[in-house]
Chains A and B, each alone.
Chain A
Amino acid sequence: MKVCFTRWLGIFAWLLLTMPLGALPAYTEDDILRQFMWEGFIRLPQAQRPKIGLALSAGGVRGFAHVGTLEVLDNAGLPIDAMAGTSMGSVVGSLYAAGLPAEKLWEIGTHITMKNISPDFNLMGLARVLFSKKLPSSSNLAKFIQDQLGDIQFEEMKIPFSCAAMDIKTGERVVFNSGPLAIAVRASMNLPGVFEPVQYRHRALVDGAVVDYLPVQAVRDMGADYIIASVTPPDFFSKTPQTVAAYLLRVGDVRGAAMIEVAAQKANFVLTNRVLDTGTLELDKLHQAGEVGVKEAHKNLKNLQEDILLFAWPYADKK
């Protein structure tokens, strides 16, 4: 391999040496027409083009890759008319749909800790688990969302948004798209077996990833004609789970992988963010996950734009 690599480098050496570092991009004819048509497309009023939806999968810390996805789509000026997210997808999606710029999401990713999710990851919390046999609460997550966005309602979101949770008593999928946002997002990311169920609207709610890992259908139900799915599939790296909670999370991931396969088929375009060697709650790896999202979206952006433009025809052909 090393020999081949060296030879390859030799062949292209002169070509590369003549290329200035950080050179401005050179455009092909395809690039130029795509740019031209895309500029026209993103300026069209919503009524004159297909409604575009974005589904953000669950995935714990891996789900922070969606921030990278959103940054790239936002830079491209992609109009997003509907969004749905599950678990981490609901956290990232809700903040963006409420109007926070992608750069603010990166900043949040730098400062977030387990304290922003649960007040019980301390000695008192341990005592609570041991003596009253209660799981930790995820109440701080709702407070965290409120700190970022205030007491915002779904109806006030800049981009129509929904998120899914599951009623642990009935096994039903519960989709939230009205009322207070913060508690719904908390319920959507309320990992079963890790946090106690959220009591809301006469339901005991746990993480929506159990029943709707990738909410493509929810976006379709919001009226989207063209759906982009941002997916963060599990990476079954060689670590064997060591705790009960870790086993539960692994089972959730295995189920999630199966659900992604089914749901992704209903999407028009899938961005698969392969975030490797990252546990569900390894918050120190949020930025790495986000960078995976940037790379994946950037790598696929041209194909995505072309697919949308051809899907949108004849809308894109104004003249």
Chain B
Amino acid sequence: MQTKNNPLPLLMLLTASWLAAGCTAGFLGIAPMGDRKEYTQARQLYEQGAYQEAITQLQDYIYKTKNVKRREARAYRLLGLSYEKTGRLGKALETYLEALEFHHNNVPLLLEAARLYQQTNLTDRSIALYERVLEEDPVNQTALAGQAANYSSLGFYSKARQLYDRFFEVAPTAEPQYRARYAHTFLAQRNYADAFINITQALAENDQNADFWLISAQARRGLNQPQEALADLQAALSLEPNRPDLLAYQALWLYEAGDYNAAQQTTQQLLQINPDSQLARWVQSLIAKAQGKNKEAAQLQEQVRQLNPTSFIGRVAAKALEN
């Protein structure tokens, strides 16, 4: 009865709730009332492509008032993204890392920092951050795909493949480029059958990507289907007719198939694009040798060697000349 008549406990409770709400808002990275307008403005500037203005707005918002409640995860993230858009990756990374000091397990921030580390080839650091994301959210698609790409870049293909396995369990209809990366992981493990199955799936969704056709061609070669491999390579070249790497593969594979005229034509095309191509001359020397023109072959090998004696092709040519 006393409590009912006395307003003090109720006032204390209301005050405590208000204080707690304020603190919680700060810790959770939620904007306190009144601050949202400034953040929204910054967001609009970012969306309009006015990144420098967004940076200024967000810097004011986060730092100027020295109000710790304004250290919102989303504000830091937007600031980091704005820095990235202006090409200041170092500042972006600093921003994400600073934000992570306040929001240790904030998944969007961890993902941005991990992605940026990955993009700057600081793979070990990226792995550590993606790992933290996967501890928080074991089926996070971005983290699974990012981590798989990290392990692929380190050559740890069995681990990359396991991560892609998990990724496709949660995202069976993911974009075809993920399927292509998965296929490449199999290719790197010389599991040509699975590489071919996966790249075929990727091509079924997008057959306008030359890289996909190249993977398919490489898988076909592994499966001992050289003619089909050449056909897939041709499909890649029809999409990107002047791509030097595709032409280089074609020259070598045609030479291997004994189609010297076609191989010679491809080397000419390659030399038009890159007059210093060592590989084109090397294939020409192989063709000359196969046709019994040993003197011409030796001359071409000498040219290859002189173009760049320290490259692998240059050293192969030197070795050939020795023999």
Assess whether A317 is interfacial by the CB under 8 Å rule: yes
Contact indicator A71/B316 (Cβ below 8 Å): no
User: A298 CA to B121 CA in the complex, in Å?
Assistant: 15
User: A20 CA to B88 CA in the complex, in Å?
Assistant: 17
Contact indicator B155/A16 (Cβ below 8 Å): no
Binds B, one of A28-36, A110-118, A149-157, A213-221: A28-36
Contact of B119 among A19, A32, A295 (CB under 8 A): A19
Binds A, one of B16-24, B49-57, B59-67, B181-189: B181-189
Contact indicator A10/B152 (Cβ below 8 Å): no
Contact of A314 among B152, B312, B323 (CB under 8 A): B323
Residues of chain B in range 226-255 having any CB-CB distance to chain A below 8 Å: 244-245, 248-249, 252, 255
User: A13 CA to B90 CA in the complex, in Å?
Assistant: 9
- Chain B residue at minimal CB-CB distance from A39: B221
Assess whether A170 is interfacial by the CB under 8 Å rule: no
Contact of A313 among B211, B221, B277, B319 (CB under 8 A): B319
- Chain B residue at minimal CB-CB distance from A13: B87
Interface string of A97-132 (1 = CB under 8 A from B): 000001100100000000000000000000000000
Contact indicator A319/B289 (Cβ below 8 Å): yes
Interface string of B115-141 (1 = CB under 8 A from A): 100111000000000000000000000
Chain B's interface size range is 35 or more
Q: Choose among A9, A12, A102 the residue with the greatest number of B CB atoms under 10 Å from its CB.
A: A9
- Minimum Cβ distance to chain A for residue B31 (Å): 29
Contact indicator A9/B155 (Cβ below 8 Å): no
- Minimum Cβ distance to chain A for residue B75 (Å): 21
Contact indicator A32/B279 (Cβ below 8 Å): yes
Q: Choose among A10, A24, A294 the residue with the greatest number of B CB atoms under 10 Å from its CB.
A: A24
Residues of chain B in range 180-218 having any CB-CB distance to chain A below 8 Å: 180-181, 184, 188-190, 211, 215
User: A36 CA to B251 CA in the complex, in Å?
Assistant: 11
Assess whether B99 is interfacial by the CB under 8 Å rule: no
**Chain A residues closer than 8 Å to B277, beta-carbon distance:** 29
Question: Contacts A13-B88, A75-B190 given: A30-B311 contact, CB under 8 Å?
Answer: yes
Q: Choose among B181, B312, B323 the residue with the greatest number of A CB atoms under 10 Å from its CB.
A: B312
Assess whether B157 is interfacial by the CB under 8 Å rule: yes
Residues of chain A in range 1-37 having any CB-CB distance to chain B below 8 Å: 5-10, 12-14, 16-17, 19-22, 24-30, 32-34, 36-37
Contact of B312 among A13, A291, A306 (CB under 8 A): A306
Assess whether A72 is interfacial by the CB under 8 Å rule: yes
**Chain B residues closer than 8 Å to A29, beta-carbon distance:** 244-245, 248, 277-279, 311, 313
Contact indicator A22/B145 (Cβ below 8 Å): yes
Contact indicator B154/A295 (Cβ below 8 Å): yes
- Minimum Cβ distance to chain A for residue B283 (Å): 9
Contact indicator B146/A22 (Cβ below 8 Å): yes
Contact indicator A13/B89 (Cβ below 8 Å): yes
- Minimum Cβ distance to chain A for residue B194 (Å): 14
Contact of B290 among A20, A25, A32, A319 (CB under 8 A): A319
Q: Is the interface of A mostly helix, strand, loop or mixed?
A: helix
User: A12 CA to B89 CA in the complex, in Å?
Assistant: 9
Assess whether B315 is interfacial by the CB under 8 Å rule: yes
**Chain A residues closer than 8 Å to B156, beta-carbon distance:** 68, 71, 291, 294-295, 298
- Minimum Cβ distance to chain B for residue A204 (Å): 40
Question: Contacts A32-B248, A75-B157 given: A16-B119 contact, CB under 8 Å?
Answer: yes
Q: How many residues belonging to A are interface residues under a CB distance threshold of 8 Å?
A: 50
Contact of A10 among B89, B184, B316 (CB under 8 A): B89
Contact indicator B249/A22 (Cβ below 8 Å): no
**Chain A residues closer than 8 Å to B118, beta-carbon distance:** 21-22
- Minimum Cβ distance to chain B for residue A304 (Å): 12
User: A24 CA to B160 CA in the complex, in Å?
Assistant: 14
Contact indicator A32/B249 (Cβ below 8 Å): yes
**Chain B residues closer than 8 Å to A299, beta-carbon distance:** 155
Assess whether A258 is interfacial by the CB under 8 Å rule: no
Contact indicator A71/B311 (Cβ below 8 Å): no
- Minimum Cβ distance to chain A for residue B74 (Å): 22
Contact indicator A310/B248 (Cβ below 8 Å): no
Residues of chain B in range 141-156 having any CB-CB distance to chain A below 8 Å: 145-146, 148-149, 152, 154-156
Interface string of A299-319 (1 = CB under 8 A from B): 101000010011001100101
Assess whether B93 is interfacial by the CB under 8 Å rule: yes
Assess whether A179 is interfacial by the CB under 8 Å rule: no
User: A299 CA to B311 CA in the complex, in Å?
Assistant: 17
Assess whether B84 is interfacial by the CB under 8 Å rule: yes
**Chain A residues closer than 8 Å to B286, beta-carbon distance:** 319
**Chain B residues closer than 8 Å to A27, beta-carbon distance:** 245, 248
User: A71 CA to B154 CA in the complex, in Å?
Assistant: 12
Assess whether A83 is interfacial by the CB under 8 Å rule: no
Contact of B158 among A19, A21, A102 (CB under 8 A): A102
Assess whether A77 is interfacial by the CB under 8 Å rule: yes
Residues of chain B in range 282-323 having any CB-CB distance to chain A below 8 Å: 282, 286, 289-290, 311-313, 315-316, 319-320, 323
For the complex of A and B, the 5 pairs showing the least CB-CB separation, nearest first, are: A298-B155, A22-B149, A6-B90, A13-B87, A9-B90
Listed in ascending order, the chain A residues whose CB lies under 8 Å from chain B are: 5-10, 12-14, 16-17, 19-22, 24-30, 32-34, 36-37, 39, 68, 71-72, 75, 77, 102-103, 106, 291, 294-295, 297-299, 301, 306, 309-310, 313-314, 317, 319
Known contacts A13-B84, A77-B190, A298-B154, then 4 further A-B pairs from the complex at CB < 8 Å, ordered by chain A residue: A6-B91, A22-B146, A29-B245, A30-B312
- Interface CB pairs A-B, < 8 A, 9: A9-B93, A13-B87, A22-B145, A22-B148, A27-B248, A29-B313, A32-B252, A301-B155, A306-B315
